[in-house]
Every structure is written in C-alpha cells, then in structure tokens.
C-alpha cells in the first residue's frame, strides 16, 4: 500500500507485483482500488471495532481516494501517481468509467462513515461537522459535533438524549495522534484507549459535552528500506493528510530538484487564499543546482545546495491549478553548502 492508501503499483495487470515494489511516478494506484479499500475497511470495522481498520479507511478517504476527484468535482484521475513531471491531468471522462462512478458514490455517501451506532453505544470513527439523531438503549440521542478537522484536531461533541440514558461513547484515537486528551463537561477525563478507541461510559443527559484534542504537528514519514524508490526520502504528514510539493507553490520550477534538510522545522500555516482555506506545511529547503556551473550531464563537482522556501499542500488537492511537477517523497539532504 502506498502512503496515500493507493493500492496496486502496476498498470499492465492493474494490480500487485512483488513485495515493497511501490514506484512513485508510474504508480497505478487506481482510484477504484482505494475506494474499495475504504469500503472494505468500513465493513471490517462493523464486524470488529478495531481502530486499525478506521486508520486505513481514513488514510484512503483523505488521500488516495479523494485525489481521484478534482476539486470542482467534474474531473477524475484513474491512476494516482505520487510523482509527476507535470503531464498528469484529470480526465473529463474515461473510456472505462469505473473510477468516475466509484469516487462519486464514495463522496456522495461520506456521511455514512463518521459514526456507528450499536444497542449500547456510539462509536466515532472520523471527525468533522456532524449532526445526527441516533437510537441508543431505546432513547433518541442528538449528536452535534463541531470541529475544523482535518485542519484542526479540536473536536467538540454535544450529546443530547431525550431522557438520561447510559451508554458507551467511543472516540477513535487515530494511529497518528500522540498525546490525545479529552474533557467531559470541562473537566479533564482520562482516556481509556483499547484497540484504537477511547470509551467514556456514563449516564448521559442533556447538555453533556465532550471535547477531544488530537495534536497534529507536521511530521516526516519514512518508508521501509526495502521500498527502494523511497530510500533517502521523506513524506510529510499532518493529521490524516499526506502532503506533496507542487511546482506552482515552489518557485514554478521542477520540484524534483528540491531536497529537505533532516533538521528543517516544519511549520503548519493556514492559507485562506488557497482552495478556500487549507493548512500548508512550510519549511526552509534546498534546491539543487549544477555544481560545475555549466550544466554538464556529468561532473566531478557535487550539486550546489541553494536555500529555498518549500510549501507543501495536501496531496488530494494536487493538479487543480496550472500543470506542473509534483512530488510526495522528497529527498532528504543536509542544508546549504554554498
Ligand atoms: Zn477504476
């Protein structure tokens, strides 16, 4: 599985090859496969409430599946590479229109993935702005959840049963969230986490409110060394989102020349001017230039490392502006040697 939740690296068999074979530029990672992964993870979750399934579902939804659809919802990717030289554009239609339908029905059904109800409890899998009426232990319970997820890990859940009723409220603590904390009616409450869910068991009454905090600092991910395409490279993640660098945010020059020093701080920044408001990740990076100054194909002088700002956007949003190069796995190199 790609870090985006993409599945199946090869186009010729629309499927798998050998272990750890995850090429980035030629990744097939068909939209359908990631949509199906989300469906499968959701059904496994209903058989067996284990956060490992929800983690896969969330990774697929927010990254490898969502990128199959353009932001305005009218263009589709069939293959979802993790690197591009700028020629990849979404289709208006496809002679084999499987992905168009699958990603459309996934997005149309998105409200069904956020929470599940059992006779004796409610489980929250994904977070967002959710308003629902559910039946628990024979009582109608209003759920009103507010958050700016995935831009923020602050989540507030108001619980309003018609009459006081005891049940388990289960909050998913994602695999990426370290140091999660919660309050119940303003007072800190310890998180009893088992198999990816924290359970709060009590007699709920009108006006009760749970606040969950999932810290989401940007972080670097590294692939297993057997993934030969990703050796010496790092991918950026914040919360459930995998990030990429795209040419238009990075000096309009090929992003394949960028490298990220291992000690460069990663700074999240809300950008209201981009896509109606997204959190980007900023860092001080290096851009490689020919070491001999001549641009010879081969030179005994290593490339120069020029300091340059780097801006990464959520992967699912790439290829929504002017065509340009894109990269998920960024080479990791120490800073300027000028
Ligand atoms: Zn398809």
pLDDT per residue as tens digits for the range 170-210: 999 999 999 999 999 999 999 989 999 999 999 999 999 99
| Ligand 1 centroid to residue 102 C-alpha, Å | 7
| Ligand 1 centroid to residue 163 C-alpha, Å | 47
Nearest to 180 by CA among 159, 143, 209, 154: 154
323 burial (CB, 10 Å; 0-12 / 13-18 / 19+) is: middle
The 10s digit of each residue's pLDDT in 287-324 is 999 998 888 999 999 999 999 999 999 999 999 999 99
Confidence band for 61, pLDDT divided at 50, 70 and 90: very high
As given in the structure block, the two tokens for residue 129 are 């702005």
pLDDT given at position 337 = 62
Query: Between the CA of residue 303 and those of 75, 84, 233, 289, what are the distances in Å?
Result: 39, 22, 17, 5
Q: Supply the residues annotated as catalytic.
A: 14, 98
| Ligand 1 centroid to residue 232 C-alpha, Å | 32
How far apart (Å, rounded) are the C-alpha atoms in residues 84 and 283?
Answer: 21
Percent of the chain with pLDDT over 90: 94
- Averaged pLDDT score across all residues of the chain: 96
pLDDT given at position 294 = 84
91 burial (CB, 10 Å; 0-12 / 13-18 / 19+) is: middle
Q: What is the mean pLDDT of residues 120-127?
A: 96
The 10s digit of each residue's pLDDT in 13-51 is 999 999 999 999 999 999 999 999 999 999 999 999 999
pLDDT given at position 252 = 87
Establish whether the linkage from the previous residue to 150 is cis, with ω within 30° of 0. yes
The count of other CB atoms within 10 Å of the CB of residue 32 is 21
**Ligand 1 ion: residues within 5 Å (CB):** 30, 32, 98-99
| Ligand 1 centroid to residue 325 C-alpha, Å | 24
């Amino acid at each position: 599985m790609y870090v985006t939740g993409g599945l199946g690296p090869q186009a010729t068999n629309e499927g798998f090859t050998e272990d750890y074979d995850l090429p980035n530029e030629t990744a097939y990672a068909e939209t359908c496969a990631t949509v199906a992964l989300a469906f499968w993870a959701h059904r496994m979750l209903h058989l067996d409430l284990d956060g490992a399934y929800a983690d896969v579902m969330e990774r697929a939804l927010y990254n490898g599946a969502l990128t199959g659809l353009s932001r305005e919802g009218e263009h589709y990717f069939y293959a979802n590479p993790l690197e591009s030289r700028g020629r990849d554009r979404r289709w208006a239609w496809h002679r084999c229109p499987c992905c168009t339908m699958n990603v459309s029905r996934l997005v149309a059904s998105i409200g069904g993935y956020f929470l599940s109800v059992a006779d004796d409890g409610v489980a929250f899998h994904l977070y967002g702005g959710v308003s629902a009426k559910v039946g628990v232990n024979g009582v109608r319970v209003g759920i009103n959840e507010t958050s700016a997820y995935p831009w923020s890990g602050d989540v507030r859940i108001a619980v309003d049963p018609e009459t006081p009723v005891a049940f388990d409220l289960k909050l998913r603590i994602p695999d990426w969230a370290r140091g999660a904390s919660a309050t119940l009616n303003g007072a800190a409450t310890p998180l009893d986490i088992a198999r990816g869910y924290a359970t709060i068991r009590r007699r709920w009454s009108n006006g009760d409110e749970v606040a969950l905090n999932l810290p989401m600092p940007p972080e670097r991910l590294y692939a297993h060394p057997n993934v030969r395409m990703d050796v010496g490279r790092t991918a950026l993640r914040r919360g459930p989102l995998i990030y990429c660098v795209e040419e238009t945010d990075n000096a309009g020059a090929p992003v394949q020349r960028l490298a990220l020093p291992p000690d460069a701080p990663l700074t999240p920044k809300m950008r209201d001017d981009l896509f109606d408001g997204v959190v980007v990740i900023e860092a001080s990076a290096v851009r490689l230039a020919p070491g001999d100054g001549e641009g010879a194909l081969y030179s005994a002088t290593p490339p120069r490392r020029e300091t340059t700002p780097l801006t990464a956007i959520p992967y699912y949003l790439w290829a929504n502006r002017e065509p340009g190069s894109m990269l998920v796995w960024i080479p990791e190199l120490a800073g300027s040697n000028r």
